[in-house]
Structure 1
Amino acid sequence: MEVLKSKKILQDFIERQKEMGKKIGFAPTMGALHDGHLSLYKNAKEENDLVISSIFVNPTQFNNPEDLEKYPRDINRDISILEKSGLVDAVYIPEVTDIYPEKTESQHYNFDGLEDEMEGKSRPGHFDGVGTVVEELFRQVKPDNAYFGEKDFQQLAIIRKMVEKKKLPVKIKGVPIYRAENGLALSSRNQRLDTDRREASKVIYETLKKVNEWFRVITIPEIKQRVQDIFDNQRGMQLEYFLIADEETLKETDFFYKDRNFRAFIVVVVDGVRLIDNMHLD
């Protein structure tokens, strides 16, 4: 596996691969890699000649400097995981100046309102940071296909919108949420929880499964109250929000329309660690 530590080294590598006609699959990450990330590369391996990862903790998508400081970093561990997986041909590890050559600040995007829902309400500017780093990585890596997990469903929708508006020549592929045996969606933040709290957090997935059973039987206000009741009875857990939204617009709904697709979204803070999850409602 090639380790590419600058924009110039990456560009030379990509140029050689393009000259050989290689189809490139790409999945950007902020490191702290786990099996959920590897599921992206597994999908990429099946559909491309060459798979590239990137590891870059993007400063412009953190609203809280303390969160940026606390974000887990272990680049040697991450490189070892990628090498052992056998799924990745190269990893790009840029410096901040490779992504932000002048000022470390975001572009401003119009995502047709997707950025104003859910995470956007409490994290102003977050998705401008996401859009900026992903657009720049796409322009440098020049992938044919790019892979993102559905755990961050709003982010996935926003990247699709950015690619559409910027007319970038890359196909965006959503990959189903990778879960631990107990159902907890794998996340880099999970590493900050001890074993007992990770096990207790399976209640998040169990609640989403119940919502999927309830949503054709009772009203949405009744569902929301039941979800609130569940987390009121969990030690050390706080329900930040739960809502059901249209999958296309991400706007919260209070009624189910037959011709639309809906998804349940939930954020729970467990001992100070913010966990997000979602589920398509059948």
Structure 2
Amino acid sequence: MAPVVARTRAELEEARPRIEGTLALVPTMGALHEGHLSLIRQARRSADAVAVSIFVNPLQFAPGEDFDRYPRTFETDLQACAAEGVDLVFAPGRDVMYPDEPQVTIKSGPMGEIVEGAARPGHFDGMLTVVLKLLNLLRPDVAIFGEKDAQQLAMIRRMVADLNVPVRVAGGPTVREPDGLALSSRNRYLSAAERETAAALSRALRAGEDAAADGPDAVLGAAGAVLDKAASAEPPLALDYLVLVDPLTFTALGGDRTGPAVLAVAGRVGATHLIDNVSLHLGKEH
């Protein structure tokens, strides 16, 4: 059965009260792939009804980034939602989400200025602003985001806690290609040769994970060795960052730190910016 499609505030306000029971929301920018579909399936297990939002948010793209060429495949996305039993698709245009130039937005704070935030200034301000708007518009009981965007997920959880937003935030596991590359809508930009280079990101994370028992320096050393080789590949990987961080604050870890951590990496292959991460446990006592 095809989902109800709401493109305007009025259509959403008509459709939302018809949903009975609990609602799980999966916010997306479209170009749906198996990673998104896994989140939709998780949403189905988490609530009585499922909503998917499809909106390419201009506030989280800096000048010169890929907003204009970001893949937009609405009809295919709608078919995928129908196949997964989605109840409601909210697909607003820019004029619906931002009828006027926003004057009041979310400020991500210090956490939004490190790691991916340092590589993409203002990105998390725009992301948090649109997520809060979507949560207010759809009023879900649970919202599900991919763990591939680990810093995004941590920041959304922080925003919900700090602003007392009445929603439960859940993460969904990263889905990978057979070569280990994390699924992303941007993967379609990659040529065959670029894709081969990009697979070094996940190999680096696995190497770091294997070294976790020996501490932070060993983790970063093992992962860095893989990325050094990729920097000499053809085409090369241009590393943006490789960091070992606290899962809650994304501040850097080092020394003799033990316990939970996130190893995060980002780089560019050709013109494509790719991110990945893995959760691990530092120290031998785990």
TM-score under structure 2 length normalisation: 0.90
CA distance in 2, matches of 1:210, 1:222: 9
Cα deviation code 1:126-174 (max 9, x no counterpart): 1110111000110010000000001110100111111111111110001
Cα deviation code 1:241-279 (max 9, x no counterpart): 111111122011222422x41111111211221111000
The alpha carbon displacement at 1:16 in A equals 2.3
Instruction: Give the alignment partner of residue 14 of structure 1, picking from 13, 16, 21.
Output: 16
**Counterpart of 2:198?**
201
Instruction: Give the alignment partner of residue 131 of structure 2, picking from 111, 128, 134.
Output: 134
Match of 2:158, SS state, is helix
Return closer, same or farther for 1:177/1:256 CA change in 2, 3 Å cut-off: farther
CA distance in 2, matches of 1:142, 1:49: 14
Superposed CA RMSD: 1.8
Match of 2:213, SS state, is coil
Cα deviation code 1:45-100 (max 9, x no counterpart): 011111000111101110124411121112112112222x3231111111222212
Instruction: Give the alignment partner of residue 148 of structure 2, picking from 151, 168, 175.
Output: 151
- What is the one-letter code of the residue matched to 2:123? H
**Counterpart of 2:284?**
none
- What is the one-letter code of the residue matched to 1:68? F
**Counterpart of 2:238?**
238
- What is the one-letter code of the residue matched to 1:3? V
* Contact map agreement 1:60 1:105 (CA 8 A) in 2: no
CA distance in 2, matches of 1:77, 1:102: 30
**Counterpart of 1:98?**
96
- What is the one-letter code of the residue matched to 1:179? R
Return closer, same or farther for 1:142/1:242 CA change in 2, 3 Å cut-off: same
Aligned residue pairs total 276
Return closer, same or farther for 1:157/1:273 CA change in 2, 3 Å cut-off: same
Mapped pair 1:49 → 2:48: yes
Unaligned runs of 5+ in 1: none
CA distance in 1, matches of 2:104, 2:190: 31
Identity %: 35
Unaligned runs of 5+ in 2: 282-286
**Counterpart of 1:30?**
29
